[in-house]
Amino acid sequence: MKTITNKVIEQHGLKLEEYSTIKKLLKREPNLLELGIFSAMWNEHCSYKSSRKHLKNLPTKGKQVIQGPGENAGVIDIGDEDAIIFKIESHNHPSYIEPYQGAATGVGGILRDVFTMGARPIALLNSIHFGSPDHFKTRSLLNGVVSGIGGYGNCIGIPTVAGETKFNSTYNENILVNAMAIGHAKKNKIFYSRAKGLNKSVVYVGSKTGRDGIHGASMASAEFDDDSEEKKPTVQVGDPFTEKLLMEACLELMKDNSIISIQDMGAAGLTSSSVEMASKGELGIELNLDKVPCREENMTPYEMMLSESQERMLIILEDGKEKHAKKIFNKWDLDFVIIGKTTDTNKLTLKYNNKIEGEIPLDALASKAPIYDRKWVKKKLTKSKIDLKKLKKIKIEDALIKILSSANHSNKNWITSQYDQMVMCDTAQKSGADAAIIRIHKKEKAIAVSVDSSSNYCKSHPLTGGKQIVCENWRNLISVGAKPIAITNCLNFGNPEDPKIMGEFVECLAGIKESCEFLNYPVVSGNVSFYNGTNKKNISPTPVIGGVGLISKLKRSMNHQLKKNDSVLLLIGKTFGHLEQSIFLEEIHSIIEGQPPEINLINEKNNGESVLEIINKDLVNSVHDISSGGLIITLAEMSMGSNYGVKIDKPKKLTDLFKYFFGEDQGRYVLEIDRNNLEKVENILKNNNVFYENIGFTQKDYFEIQKELKIDIKELYKINNQWYNNY
Amino acid sequence: MKSSVIVFPGSNCDRDIAVALEKMQFKNQMVWHKETKLPKSDLIVIPGGFSYGDYLRSGAIAGKSLIINEVIKAANEGCLILGICNGFQILTETGLLQGVLLRNKKLKFINKDVNIKVINNQTKFSNKYKKDQILKINIAHNEGNYFTNPEHLQKLKNENLIAFKYCNTTGNTDEESNPNGSLENIAGIFNSKKNILGMMPHPERMIDNLVSNTDGVNLFSSLLN
């Protein structure tokens, strides 16, 4: 057997001091199999060793929360015995090495997290970030990732309903692929991973185990270097067809009380699933590796335990249910093998050829795994010296067209038409809106979902950036008439061993916490992805927020398309004209400087709740929040694809038109109101102390700012739909 | 009216079509692909999805499954058969419908609402539509590019066997409105006896204004007529 040298330890992604701890915990040297298992459980991806200390501070409770972080996914209560189960997860590293399979298995993995808990998945979302469009890799990565997401979701038959796609040179050599899945279950039929009872059968179901993805989780816990291509074998290969069978088989078995606990084999495969189930149940677990269904010959215990082959599950069954369960899995042509049992040893025991090949106390792998209090430093804030008067002159019309035709602000039909958004027939609002809307099957209620990020804001001021993304996500749900309930987050950062990066993490998280607490918008699940970078170049901090809200009556949901001629347009919230870190400065003047706009949580909440009240009282025709690009982009988006445009007056107070139209002040919305509803709406706004302005009205066919520009909305639509087709 | 929906491993529009059939008052049953007998049915639906993961070729393995012999038998006895999307692909694999469905011209999966025109409204499947009526129906496929030989194409035209064609909002069947490169914009065809319809668009997705529109409803009410 291979002796464990310092090099072997390093290859397993472990530090020498961590190896000493292992020896202390075992009171002996581990063998190679055991070392592999420690490496799988102690890597950043599985152990959250750098983040755990800070994640603890997030608000995770509330009367709407059934299950917070720590399970396969978060669970929230949406009334009438219905629960929504959801989570977002990253698959950044594999997707950069092998975009199609990386993205596809990202989708597959997050779906398993959701149906493992007893939910039928009802929607998929994604947040994907690529390098600059001119970077030589971007085109093929974009193509591969989009095909991979579509390939998996389309085949399994879960609609991909919303997402965001962004380009920024910070991701040139480390793209981000975050996938989110949402499922629906009955509140009293939720399945957990905690094992219970002695001598219960541990059953392996799903695909066979192959040599793919060995050390995938460790790979995802290190930076890339010039040899990243060589890591291709650590990327798993997905098979959505098998996952569809596995999903149907699991959901069929979940109809009765056969299952004690269930856990999917995700990162670190058989190792993490068996360890998590047993350690949560404070039991031991014994696996007979001779029984593991293998795809390839002569697989060693080491390979079986560390493989990340997809579409596999581990189930602990009630006594006497084996036959019944086997019948279901056989019906779906899936492997079903009893590979072990629960024990009272509090150890993971691995047998092969009647010999114990490895034995590790479970607490050494779970509760005694290292936790680091990494050094971090506060972000040094830079003052911007932008003098707007000195910038090169540009017409408002030209700036608008340039932004609408840019990679980041173009219509993403090219992407979304590659995803089946309609399968399951409950997608009431697809991609392209503030939030997607999914009806709860055969009910009149629906959920609204959105994913959001703002890496430039988070880079320049992590605390404000963290606050802002939660608010932006909250606003998006409000805009479609949903009451926001809870979020999941995917925290994509660079190398946590660098105090500056760790500082970005800590401060972003503090911002997220502050907004979530204020808005009663708890975090119920999430994932941390560190080491996003190549050759010491870290990505900008990119926390991604996935939010879920409830629409109690689908027919009262809202969208952003202008509906009528001559309605009044109200701008909700105060406009100060904040241009630092704006899309305007970035796209038009190539300036990324200064601070993001401030977040005023009191106004944010008050404005949002007032807008929701107006929607619920059926007083508004369309609603759109104002986000990147400012008021003018919001108005353009409301017009494009509609039959109506706008006629906007010049501002009365703020005289700099660029500040007024392109400023990114927060907490703002545009509302389209019928003239005969105006008084009622104004009364609500006045009663609630909401600042608002009457900025103009809708008109047929034209997008117009008085004495400044007038464009046919069809032309605007065309401009907005070119970029992807020409790329 | 009694209907049966065949479920293959990998079918994923089976629930959607069942919901539509039940909403339209069909007495519906789901039939697992390993069955060797069909329940008595007036209509058999082969739903959309990725039967057998589209392995080998979409529809190829399902076309050789146990239950398919029963479907062929029923078809020959005049039972109404509707194949939607992957169901259309399966029907061409079995030979119940002629022609093939090739990869989409742009080699990408396409999901969007497209306009289709009712070409023949004198059939069991389309009698509630007006001739040349324009419908907005969702498509979602990788292989919907219909192709057949010149003799068969001539036959399709002579015998009025083209059910639907892709068109623009004014009913023009031009190249721009053809989403997948399909021969002569064909979106769906009948067999000679007009008891079998294969179509790429998904009528079961268009039965509810709250999520889409109701342009698919008349296909089902035609069958009940």
Give A382-414 pLDDT, tens digit per residue: 887 788 888 888 999 999 999 999 999 999 999
A223 at interface of B, judged by CB pairs closer than 8 A = no
Neighbouring-strand partners of residue A287: A340, A350
A157 touches chain B (CB under 8 A): yes
Q: Across chain A, how many H-helices and E-strands are there?
A: 26, 28
CB A451 within 8 A of CB A162: yes
Model-level ipTM above the cut of 0.85: yes
Q: What is the pLDDT of residue A677?
A: 97
What integer pLDDT is reported at residue A641 of this predicted model?
Answer: 87
Cβ neighbours of residue B175 under 8 Å, at least 6 residues apart? none
Q: Which residues of B touch A154 (CB under 8 A)?
A: 50, 109, 111, 140, 142
CB atoms A241 and B50 under 8 Å: yes
Which residues in chain A have Cβ-Cβ distances shorter than 8 Å to B22?
none
Give the nearest partner residue to A332 out of B9, B54, B202, using CB atoms. Answer: B9
**A154 at interface of B, judged by CB pairs closer than 8 A:** yes
d(CA A347, CA A572): 59
How far from the centroid of its chain's Cα atoms is residue A284's Cα? 33
Is B93 known to be catalytic?
no
* Whether B26 contacts chain A with CB within 8 A: no
Q: Rounded to 5, what percent of chain A is helix, strand, coil?
A: 35, 25, 40
- Tell me which chain B residues have a C-beta less than 8 angstroms from the C-beta of A426: 211
Spatial contact of B88 and B200, defined as CB atoms under 8 Å apart: yes
Query: In this predicted structure, which of A5-9, B16-20, B88-92 has the lowest mean pLDDT?
Result: A5-9
CB A286 within 8 A of CB A349: yes
CA distance B116 to chain A (A): 18
Interface test with B, best of A422, A555, A556 (most B CBs within 10 A): A422
The answer, for A114 touching chain B at a CB cutoff of 8 Å, is no
In the residue annotation, A45 being an active-site residue is answered as yes
- Beta carbons of A91 and A104 less than 8 angstroms apart: no
Best residue in B105, B211, B214, B220 for a mutation probing chain A (most A CBs within 10 Å): B211
Are the Cβ atoms of B202 and A422 closer than 8 angstroms? Answer: yes
Please tell me whether residue A462 adopts helix, strand or coil conformation.
Answer: helix
Q: Which residues contact A466 (CB under 8 A, 6 or more apart)?
A: A458, A507, A508, A509, A510, A511, A512, A513, A514, A515, A543
At A237 the pLDDT is 86
The whole-number pLDDT of residue A726 equals: 87
Name the residue among B16, B110, B142 with its Cβ closest to that of A424.
B16
Task: Assess contact for A668 and A576: CB atoms under 8 A.
Answer: no
- Which residues of A fall within a CB distance of 8 Å from B169? none
The answer to whether the CB atoms of A244 and B210 lie below 8 A apart is no
The pLDDT of residue A265 is 92
Q: What's the pTM?
A: 0.95
Residue among A155, A416, A422 minimizing CB distance to B50 = A155
| CB-based contact, B33 to chain A, within 8 Å | no
Spell out, as residue ranges, where chain A has pLDDT lower than 70: 1-2, 216-222, 224, 226-233
Nearest residue of A to residue B140 by CA position?
Answer: A420
Q: For residue A200, what pLDDT is reported?
A: 96
Test B19 with A439 for CB contact under 8 angstroms. no
Name the B residues in 138-167 with CB < 8 Å from any A CB: 138, 140, 142
Q: What are A59's two structure tokens?
A: 């608000």
- For residue A221, the model assigns a pLDDT of 63
Contact B211 A150 (CB under 8 A): no
**Cα atoms in the 13 Å half-sphere on the side-chain side of A722:** 13
Q: Does B2 touch chain A (CB under 8 A)?
A: no
Q: What is the pLDDT of residue A616?
A: 97
The reply to whether A445 touches chain B by the CB within 8 Å rule is no
d(CA A306, CA A292): 13
- Say yes or no for a CB contact (<8 Å) between B140 and A245: no
Average pLDDT in the B116-131 region? 97
Q: Which of B33, B141, B143, B202 is catalytic?
A: B202
| Smallest CA–CA distance from A413 into chain B, residue | B112
Which chain A residues are closer than 8 Å to B15 by Cβ? 424
pLDDT for the residue A652: 78
Q: Does A721 touch chain B (CB under 8 A)?
A: no
Tell me which of A54, A91, A409, A624 is the catalytic residue: A91
Percent with pLDDT over 90 in chain B? 94
Catalytic residue, candidates A45, A54, A93, A560: A45
Look at residue A29 in the predicted model and tell me its pLDDT: 94
DSSP state, residue B97: S
Distances (CA, A) of A499 to A50, A376, A458, A475, B136: 11, 4, 16, 32, 56
Beta bridge partners of A130: A167
**Using CB atoms, which residue from B13, B49, B210 is nearest to A439?**
B210
Contact at CB, A241 and B9, closer than 8 angstroms: yes
How far is B191 from B125, CA to CA, in rounded Å?
Answer: 12
Q: How many CB pairs under 8 A join A and B?
A: 87
Chain A contact probe: residue of B21, B33, B50, B66 with most A CBs at under 10 A: B50
Q: What number of other Cβ atoms are within 10 A of residue B159's Cβ?
A: 13
Write out pLDDT tens, residues B197-222: 999 999 999 999 999 999 999 999 99
| Residue from B85, B93, B141, B167 carrying the catalytic annotation | B85
B55/A contact by beta carbon, under 8 A: yes
Considering only CB atoms, which chain B residues are within 8 Å of A244? 9-10, 12, 50, 53
